[in-house]
A and B are shown apart, each in its own frame.
Chain A
């Protein structure tokens, strides 16, 4: 038995009208229904960040987001990060990750990239973090990047290259 619901989503610029089981997470919807396998299922509990996507421009764990609760949203996955199309152009974060060798197995990378894109937008808007000084200007120091990216785990331990890659892309 299942309960079906209708929803509309705009994913990487493409409109979708869908009928799905209410239990479907955004992650499963993207991977199993729309064949967008960039977002990865690591833990399925919101603890690893491999499934990170942008919902209306904000980064979120797709595994804990019920698709039906986000009807009407604009979704960006790693596939759409560079603006879509087949031009082959990379997003500055993708280019920086390559230049800094910011991955080993690559499984966490789509989540790292989407999370970093969302994080840089948050920083641009002046959002503080747990390591931001109470007074004064916020600078995107390595400590700020590490704190703001703590929701993305990398089992290969590529953090030492991920941090400078994100710093470069932010310039």
Chain B
């Protein structure tokens, strides 16, 4: 591992000033992904700027109207245990609890979770080409081991998936990421925070290099909202998703007044199923409308040689999860 300087920033302003002054610096959250990538040689920052103790960043606060502001340094464990999150945004607590392990969630932060890198085996192996790690070097995953990589929205340059469970729930909840950079603050809606690979797969998000995530904001939810996170994986716990789904539905009787569905494990981003949502919104939710909506959403899927199973898995997850929500009491 390359030697690095360690700096601990006291507040967001200092953190941004430090990273702006150091071209080879990176922010350090819980380190559960970055330290591993440094050990693997994927990342070699000259300076780490620890942002886990920034003033106010470890708090979850109420917003006017009943939403929440979640500081970027809140740990995954504290987020999932928060009574307000469990009560109003159960899909978020469920998604976080379905990720990683108890001891990793105690270290990992909200900001770091959003910025974690793909677990594509070629990205993590510096002896192999990878356009995300080394732009222009090629993508061996396309013809190699891609059984758990993307089926939709990928490019010839990159077929990686975003590994986060939390981000899938945040996408379905229309959360907003607040960031601070050298020229001030801005807010970025989560559907749109991560980006498709296109011909720049090295860029996972729309963040500028010196921008810091300060918090994630959740809008107030309608009272009649039903939510669920469901994850299919190769073992029952402590594994990344093959396909996962976050569903947030506002019911009026059997009719869906509003439907938000996001899929994990299928794309370079948490995939908002907007085609399916548009077909379902305002209408009845039953097996036939769900099947039609799920199939319409997945028409654009372009599975690779060994991951066609994900298309059928995603279709069934959409149908089953939303049917469960129709039948649920709450």
Which residues from chain B contact A126 at a C-beta distance below 8 Å? 81
CA A85 to CA B129, docked complex, whole Å: 53
The answer to whether B36 touches A23 (Cβ under 8 A) is no
How would residues 53 to 74 of chain A score, 1 for a CB under 8 Å from any chain B CB and 0 otherwise? 0010011110011101100000
CA A149 to CA B100, docked complex, whole Å: 11
The answer to whether A151 touches B5 (Cβ under 8 A) is no
The answer to whether A150 touches B4 (Cβ under 8 A) is no
How would residues 1 to 44 of chain A score, 1 for a CB under 8 Å from any chain B CB and 0 otherwise? 11101000000000000000111010000000000000000001
Chain B contact residue count (CB 8 A cutoff): 36
CA A33 to CA B97, docked complex, whole Å: 35
The answer to whether A58 touches B35 (Cβ under 8 A) is no
The answer to whether A127 touches B77 (Cβ under 8 A) is yes
Which residues from chain B contact A21 at a C-beta distance below 8 Å? 3
The answer to whether B237 touches A22 (Cβ under 8 A) is no
Report if A151-B238 is in contact (Cβ < 8 Å); known contacts: A128-B80, A128-B97, A134-B90.
yes
Report if A130-B32 is in contact (Cβ < 8 Å); known contacts: A52-B103, A64-B107.
no
- Within 8 Å of chain B (Cβ to Cβ): is A125? yes
Which residues from chain A contact B93 at a C-beta distance below 8 Å? 128
The answer to whether A127 touches B80 (Cβ under 8 A) is yes
CA A127 to CA B81, docked complex, whole Å: 5
- Within 8 Å of chain A (Cβ to Cβ): is B31? yes
Chain A contact residue count (CB 8 A cutoff): 43
CA A64 to CA B33, docked complex, whole Å: 8
The answer to whether A60 touches B106 (Cβ under 8 A) is yes
CB of A11 to closest CB in B, whole Å: 18
The answer to whether B80 touches A46 (Cβ under 8 A) is no
CA A128 to CA B90, docked complex, whole Å: 11
- Within 8 Å of chain B (Cβ to Cβ): is A110? no
Which residues from chain A contact B28 at a C-beta distance below 8 Å? 66, 69
Report if A64-B32 is in contact (Cβ < 8 Å); known contacts: A59-B103, A128-B97, A150-B237.
yes
CB of B234 to closest CB in A, whole Å: 13
How would residues 127 to 162 of chain A score, 1 for a CB under 8 Å from any chain B CB and 0 otherwise? 111101011000000000011111110000000000
Report if A46-B104 is in contact (Cβ < 8 Å); known contacts: A61-B32, A126-B81.
yes
- Looking at the complex, which one of B3, B80, B107 makes contact with A3 (CB distance below 8 Å)? B3
The answer to whether B98 touches A130 (Cβ under 8 A) is yes
The answer to whether A125 touches B90 (Cβ under 8 A) is no
The answer to whether B36 touches A45 (Cβ under 8 A) is yes
The answer to whether A147 touches B237 (Cβ under 8 A) is yes
Please list 14 pairs of residues, one from A and one from B, whose beta carbons are closer than 8 Å in the complex, sorted by A's number.
A3-B3, A3-B4, A3-B5, A3-B6, A22-B6, A23-B3, A46-B32, A61-B107, A68-B6, A127-B77, A148-B102, A150-B101, A151-B100, A151-B101
Additional A-B contact list (6), CB under 8 Å, known A69-B50, A122-B102, A151-B238: A22-B3, A46-B104, A115-B103, A128-B86, A150-B237, A152-B101
